[in-house]
Amino acid sequence: MSVLVVGSIALDSIKTPTADHRELLGGSATYGAVAASFFSPVNLVAIVGEDFPKAHIEYFQARKIDLTGLQIVPGKTFRWAGEYHEDMNTRTTLSTDLNVFEHFTPKLPPAYAGAEIVLLGNIGPDLQNHVLDQMKRPRFVIADTMNLWINIAKPELLRLLPRVDMLVLNDEEARQLTGEKNLITAGRKLRELGPKYIALKKGEHGCLLFGENEFFTCGAFPLESIFDPTGAGDTFVGALAGYLAANCTEGEITFQHLRRAVVHGSVLASFNVEDFSLERLRKVTPEELDGRYDHFRAMTAFHA
């Protein structure tokens, strides 16, 4: 089963305390699609300008990502520039040039409309809603979001939530959207807004997964050095979606499927932060991924 991934493609310029990189491949759809492609076929819907490097297109193709839904239009590709501070946890956006992304309307090729697993990557909730408007009956819809949309597009986001099966967001966003300090209460209140499941990301502290009378707490893979956290959240949710597409081909998607999907998401994201842009993801082998999953499993087990 394939995953439909909709989101942004960007050229990112990223400064950290130790490095400065320009025009790296980035964007929520990029990380999400590449991450999902470790597990399942991917159909991509996104937009780039005519300046988008051919090498990146070829990389997507090499990952067997279907590009029928990729719009290549006159103009420049979306650019984002940001700077990470000393602790690598906080960042400042230096510039955002939407370029062709400003007028992006996600349009599903006919072959995509029957997609079963849908990842609405981090883009405006109006666009996320527009994608769902074009779909038949997806089996499982995952939506990512961020503080920006909670600030400037909350009504559209609230309209989206009852339409998705799982919302993915981080701890600060969960607090912002619910007004609740306590993350367990925030998770419960987010479910009341519509999604059946909430995946609440806590960075170095791992992730909480909320379902109806079901709860899963998952640590983060221990890392001493984080070179570039950009795209970690998109990688997490992309791997999560890809895992479901590969492992839930029949029957219901259960909470147990989701637990394992979350762990696979955490594990792939832990590779992503080890190098800039998608440099580490480009090199991860299936054996490395399985190895770290097994390692993580051994690290978290306590009962024979």
Q: Considering the complex, what minimum distance in angstroms separates the CB of residue 298 from a second copy?
A: 9
Residues within window 145-204 making contact with a second copy, judged by CB under 8 A:
181-185, 188, 202, 204
The size of the interface with a second copy (CB under 8 A), counted in residues, is 36
User: Which one, 93 or 300, has the nearer CB to a second copy?
Assistant: 300
Strand order in the sheet with 197-201: 65-73, 42-49, 3-6, 117-120, 140-144, 166-170, 197-201, 207-211, 214-218
Could you say whether residue 222 binds a second copy (CB under 8 A)?
A: yes
Could you say whether residue 111 binds a second copy (CB under 8 A)?
A: no
With H, G, I as helix, E, B as strand and everything else as coil, classify residue 134. Answer: coil
Give how far the C-alpha of residue 178 lies from the chain's centroid of Cα atoms, to the nearest Å.
21
* Alpha-carbon gap, residue 213 to 256, rounded angstroms: 13
Could you say whether residue 225 binds a second copy (CB under 8 A)?
A: yes
Among 206, 247, 275, 279, binds a second copy (CB under 8 A): 206
Among 152, 256, 288, 290, binds a second copy (CB under 8 A): 256
User: Which one, 48 or 220, has the nearer CB to a second copy?
Assistant: 220
User: Which one, 93 or 182, has the nearer CB to a second copy?
Assistant: 182
What would the DSSP string read from start to end of 220-278? PPP-S--S--TTHHHHHHHHHHHHHHHH-SSS---HHHHHHHHHHHHHHHHHHTTSSTT
- Look at the chain and count its residues: 304
User: Which one, 139 or 188, has the nearer CB to a second copy?
Assistant: 188
* Alpha-carbon gap, residue 238 to 258, rounded angstroms: 13
User: Which one, 162 or 286, has the nearer CB to a second copy?
Assistant: 286
Neighbouring C-alpha atoms within 13 Å toward the C-beta of 235:
26
Beta strand 79-84 with 91-97: parallel, antiparallel or unpaired? antiparallel
* Alpha-carbon gap, residue 239 to 62, rounded angstroms: 17
**Binding piece for a second copy, criterion CB under 8 A, among 18-26, 61-69, 205-213, 281-289:** 205-213
Q: Considering the complex, what minimum distance in angstroms separates the CB of residue 300 from a second copy?
A: 6
- 150: β partners: none
Q: Considering the complex, what minimum distance in angstroms separates the CB of residue 231 from a second copy?
A: 20
Could you say whether residue 85 binds a second copy (CB under 8 A)?
A: no
User: Which one, 109 or 219, has the nearer CB to a second copy?
Assistant: 219
Give the interface with a second copy as residue ranges (CB under 8 A).
Answer: 86-87, 181-185, 188, 202, 204-206, 208, 215-220, 222-226, 256, 259-260, 262-263, 297, 299-304
